[in-house]
Amino acid sequence: MKPIGLIAVGNPDRAILESVQAAVAREYRTRCSIEGQLDAHSAFRPERGQYHSTALLERLLHDDHIQLGVTEVDLFIPILTFVFGEAQLGGSAAIVSYHRLTQEFYGLPADDALLLDRTAKEAIHEIGHAAGLTHCDDYQCVMAASHAVEWLDVKSAALCAFCRRRL
């Protein structure tokens, strides 16, 4: 597994970045460092009031390690209302947004521990795609597809044995 560099895209919360850093390093047993910041402005699409995920992903491509962008801004790709994250399959870049991972987004009281847990799962999931993994049928595996927070909450933050072997 290549080393992983975290990039703050926009102005994500520092505690969330550090939590993602620890979770990713643990799950992939690789070095993970916080490496810099990227301005999200050029990816903003005023007609949607959201940020184009793929435009940010392209700016995260890197030669010798995987770069993971972590952001608080709301991401979309043109065919979908929103995305929690996106990755270049078998590539070098991934991005995750926690905009829709907060309980407040759904009108519920804040839950910081749950937010860290969801963001870590989504980060590990997108890095899995960047490392070449596709979606997994095991609903508990972190590589299970999850387009709603309810699905994120039922799966674990870990790769199943099958996905780990495929890495």
Residues annotated as catalytic are 126
Angle among Cα 110, 147, 1 to the nearest 5 degrees reads 95
Tell me how far, at minimum, the Cβ of 161 lies from Zn ion, in Å.
8
Helix axes 112-130 and 14-28, enclosed angle (nearest 10): 50
Q: In terms of CB distance, is 13 or 117 closer to Zn ion?
A: 117
| Short-list 132, 125, 113, CA closest to 159 | 125
Tell me how far, at minimum, the Cβ of 134 lies from Zn ion, in Å.
8
Q: Which residues bind Zn ion (CB under 5 A)?
A: 136, 138, 141, 143, 160, 163
Q: In terms of CB distance, is 32 or 163 closer to Zn ion?
A: 163
Tell me how far, at minimum, the Cβ of 160 lies from Zn ion, in Å.
3
Q: In terms of CB distance, is 24 or 141 closer to Zn ion?
A: 141
Q: In terms of CB distance, is 57 or 163 closer to Zn ion?
A: 163
CA dihedral 86, 87, 88, 91 (to 10 degrees): 170
Is residue 42 within 8 A of residue 145, CB to CB? The reply is no
Tell me how far, at minimum, the Cβ of 72 lies from Zn ion, in Å.
20
